[in-house]
Amino acid sequence: MDGLTLKKLLKKADEGGYAIPSFNYSDIWDFMAIVEAAEEEGAPIMIASNPLVVKAIGADCCGAFGTAAMKRAKIPLVHLLDHSFTVEMCEDCINNNYPSVMIDASKYDLETNIKYVNEVMALAKPHNVHVEAEVGKIKGKGIEGDFKGGDFLVQVEDAAELVKRTNVDSLAIGIGSAHGFYQGKPQLNFERLNEVNHAIDTPLVLHGGTGIPREDVQKAIKMGINKVNVGTIIHCTYMNSVRAELNRVGDNAYTLDVMSAVKENIKNVVKEWIRTCMANGKA
């Protein structure tokens, strides 16, 4: 599996009117649950480690595990470094066989954003690694800190300029989605999504999937979103299930027993999201 395959998967999704879901993992247990769910749904998916996970486990271990899992998976599975804020971490993951990386320099001005994206493109392309960038901002609380309202919305001309000067493979856009849980119903700016989609051919990515109603996700897919990121609901299902299972089993719980119950809960969430993205049966 390499970045060229991902390009084909995203194109196929675009033509087929569905999106490739990308799920954030924290360790091997939710990783395994996500892959098993995708295999049972017959869905092509991406599986992503954010910088906190890469720092905690190491790009070498994440990369080795991801490589083995991609080889073994019965569905197209693409490992991704999500939201790297540094070129160095992208380089580390490229050197450890990640087929795709995201450089998130959206907090900088457009020129600086373009500069960082080009640096990552130069490192990635000799290895056929797929690169995602971000224009506009994803709201909410996340690894990048709190971002509350304000100037989050992607500017169409910024998206077009970044794509023209970097030739980046896919683009996350700020259209009102947020990392973490939403307070109230998320307000996505579909008009802006439509404008960006008409201005550029690059596959578009919706971040902050958790909490966006199914009909809004599907509307966004119809309007040009090709990849949907889901994280918070995976982490929360994981932790809440561990707590519930430990309470049920009591003392002296054995890891494998607890985790097989936990995995079933994570799998159910992943399957729901695969169906929301209409990616079931598309492997």
List of residues contacting ligand 13P (CB under 6 A): 24, 82-83, 179-180, 207-210, 229-232
Which C-beta is closer to ligand 13P: that of 177 or that of 202? Answer: 177
- Strand-pairing partners, residue 81, are 49, 101
Q: Give the span between the Cα atoms of 134 and 101, in whole angstroms.
A: 12
Q: How far is CA 82 from CA 36, 96, 113, 239, 281, in A?
A: 21, 15, 16, 21, 25
- Shortest gap between Cβ of 60 and ligand 13P (angstroms)? 22
Which C-beta is closer to ligand 13P: that of 224 or that of 231? Answer: 231
Which C-beta is closer to ligand 13P: that of 66 or that of 208? Answer: 208
Q: Give the span between the Cα atoms of 264 and 94, in whole angstroms.
A: 32
Q: How far is CA 44 from CA 12, 75, 76, 208, in A?
A: 11, 6, 5, 19
- Shortest gap between Cβ of 232 and ligand 13P (angstroms)? 3
- Shortest gap between Cβ of 252 and ligand 13P (angstroms)? 34
Which C-beta is closer to ligand 13P: that of 83 or that of 192? Answer: 83
Among 192, 190, 116, smallest CA distance to 159 is for 192
Coil vs helix vs strand at 45 = strand
* Neighbour tally for 52: CB within 10 Å: 11
- Strand-pairing partners, residue 145, are 142
- Shortest gap between Cβ of 156 and ligand 13P (angstroms)? 21
Q: Give the distance from CA 36 to its chain's centroid.
A: 18
Does the annotation mark 82 as catalytic?
Answer: yes
Q: Per the residue annotation, which of 82, 92, 104, 169 is the catalytic one?
A: 82
Residue type, 49: S
* Neighbour tally for 158: CB within 10 Å: 18
- Shortest gap between Cβ of 248 and ligand 13P (angstroms)? 27
Which C-beta is closer to ligand 13P: that of 205 or that of 258? Answer: 205
Q: Quote the tokens at residue 143.
A: 């690894």
Q: Which residues are catalytic?
A: 82
